[in-house]
A and B are shown apart, each in its own frame.
Chain A
């Protein structure tokens, strides 16, 4: 498809906690000749309240987001989870609402970042970085909802100096689940422990993922465990390794 401009939705998590990952995503797109628009009024897709059952509080937040994307152009999101919320769950959130058609027309245009880079832009990457060993964690949303988990592997496989080490039980949930990490903190804690154990066992230097929710969960757990294993979003990882630093 001939695309020359897209909206970029950072997500609430990226905006405050992983802004560099968001910026990297935008730069990756810009490099391909795309005009990237960052609507300044964007906030959140509404997922936190939706997953807690408070749909009435989630709706106004989702609605304010709709206003950010008036043009009929793709909306690229550096998160399988948020992309999944809009693309697959706004239909439930807006059920019976008068603006459901508008909401769905937004949902239709949503792409997760790696999905867009691979499927729509056929991006080609040259590895300028140092040899490194990484392990990849795909989010449940990118696997089960968006079904684009392999896109991260597609991109990484183009980096000649990156060795990917596979973790045991790689498709198991890391235990974040948004508010689940707070509401069932001990179960979530046990899950993140199993996940970090399997990640550490690969002896990779860093964990790369499409989702900052998982990265925050895993990263903060690793930090608590005093582990040297780093975490990084795929966009930042790719941008760091493929852009010429002057």
Chain B
């Protein structure tokens, strides 16, 4: 999507928005508390994370083999498999399937991967009606916005804002801020859409290679509607979502739902292994799966960053991120926001375009502590920073490596290195700073907007230690 504003503009807009801050504050507190309640025992939690991490690492270590096996099993289950290297290819594949089936109206379950390829815009351009059916996605589709969180897409909106959007689009329903009433109205509106849609499109939470099964989590029932009612079901998934065995699923499901929304389990766990078989009376008559690469195989080749692909899209990292809490999801300007976003997106779209995202992080480490599959997010973010300024621009695995090197900043760090790398020079600098009472003529950057300038003490610790009689070797 073309964005004219800069990252800084979006951040400033977000920071100036009191309502947004308040919405995100309460939402993140809620989600963090719910997750905390589900994991009272740290040792048990660490064990669950070890297991989940191991399962995901195993999948990534054998990814090619597992994808081949998945394809074989799906095809033998009468589910057609398509491979898309790019987002455009995926969109074209999906469009062709719909065209061949003469499908004009689509109902869609929540799927971040379809946001990634901008499927809705692509199909709407071709005069295909595509309706989001997850309540949060439905509401923001009405508001012509993008999701701001990967699990709770409308989390940035207050109840009042949602009521307004709803009332504006459906004048036949009286304005209400009653959540139950809005929900019932949405149910009424969407029911007939499910019933009459030509096709359903969904994402995939886990794809089991052993049995050729697509697994989907949800609470509302719209996902099951989309994948069961229409004659045609197309599932889109990133290639990294494959799990080797059915026995991998219970521990992944368990830690996913607890991490994401603090639920024991979601209302529905839907495991699809085939379209409608002979004798069955419902279910799609034909099913397709689109396996999307879109930069993932390149990340896979980068051993240092491969763990990025372990992600099971729980959203825990952003729930705990103090920066995300301040600026919300839209400020990032990317499909995936928060810690996973600033790790994944510069790798997918290149550092030239998105390298600056990694600055939106204080390296507090909260994300790494909660990631259910133990992705070392702070380490990966820091690595991307280093790639951005010191990377080799011939690096084929990371586009734009080295492109963010600024000669001014490099000079500053070179000076710092001379100062701090040389004890003799440092001792002179230290003497000067303590004697004169300042480090630099003015505060660096906007430090002074929020804080006073710290003043060096009259005596350095080295002097005090010496005076107090401490040995220096």
Contacts and interface: CB of A to CB of B under 8 A. Distances in A.
Interface in A56-87: 56-58, 60-61, 63-64
A31 interface: no
B267 interface: no
A20 interface: yes
Contacts of B365: 140-141, 143-145
A27 B470 CA distance: 10
B451 A37 contact: no
A183 interface: yes
Contacts of A243: none
Contacts, number: 212
Interface stretch (B65-73, B88-96, B256-264, B442-450): B442-450
Interface in B446-471: 446-447, 449-457, 459-466, 468, 470-471
B184 interface: no
Interface string B409-436: 1100110110011110011001001100
Nearest to B367: A144
Nearest to B404: A53
A188 B322 CA distance: 10
Interface stretch (B104-112, B233-241, B273-281, B382-390): B382-390
Contacts of B135: none
A176 B421 CA distance: 24
Interface in A37-63: 37-44, 48-58, 60-61, 63
A155 interface: no
Given A49-B413, A187-B323, A190-B15, A144 B362 contact: no
Contacts of A193: 450
A190 B22 CA distance: 13
A186 B390 contact: no
Contacts of A223: 451-452
Contacts of A35: 471
Given A186-B446, A224-B451, A55 B390 contact: yes
B274 to A, nearest CB: 45
B364 interface: yes
Contacts of B450: 185, 188-189, 192-193, 221, 224
A105 interface: no
Contacts of B445: 182-183, 185
Given A173-B322, A185-B450, A187-B326, A40 B472 contact: yes
A140 B364 CA distance: 5
Q: Which of B365, B387, B433 has the most CB of A within 10 A?
A: B365
A229 interface: no
A61 B21 CA distance: 40
A16 B465 contact: no
Contacts of A14: 461
Q: Which of B369, B388, B473 has the most CB of A within 10 A?
A: B473
B327 interface: yes
B140 to A, nearest CB: 24
A23 B461 contact: yes
A185 B366 contact: no
B472 A39 contact: yes
Contacts of B460: 15-16, 19
Nearest to B327: A187
Contacts of A26: 465, 468, 470
Nearest to A49: B413
A236 to B, nearest CB: 12
A121 B84 CA distance: 61
A173 B464 contact: no
Contacts of B362: 140, 173, 175-177, 180, 188, 191
B215 interface: no
B361 interface: yes
B152 interface: no
Interface string A109-144: 000000000000000000000000000000011011
B337 to A, nearest CB: 14
Interface string B341-366: 00000000000000000011111111
B368 interface: yes
Given A38-B465, A51-B363, A53-B385, A61 B457 contact: no
B327 A57 contact: no
Q: Which of A37, A183, A223 has the most CB of B within 10 A?
A: A183
Interface of A: 8, 10, 12, 14-20, 22-23, 26-27, 30, 35-44, 48-58, 60-61, 63-64, 92, 140-141, 143-145, 169, 171-173, 175-178, 180-194, 216-217, 219-221, 223-224
Given A64-B423, A187-B360, 16 more contacts: A12-B420, A15-B430, A17-B456, A19-B459, A26-B465, A35-B471, A39-B472, A43-B421, A49-B416, A61-B421, A64-B420, A92-B382, A140-B363, A177-B362, A180-B362, A191-B326
14 contacts: A23-B464, A40-B423, A40-B427, A49-B413, A49-B416, A60-B417, A92-B382, A173-B362, A173-B366, A180-B361, A185-B447, A190-B326, A194-B326, A220-B447
Interface of B: 11-12, 15, 21, 29, 322-323, 326-327, 359-366, 368-369, 379, 382-383, 385-390, 404, 409-410, 413-414, 416-417, 420-423, 426-427, 430, 433-434, 439, 444-447, 449-457, 459-466, 468, 470-473
Task: List 4 tightest A-B contacts by C-beta distance, closest first.
Answer: A177-B362, A185-B446, A144-B365, A53-B385
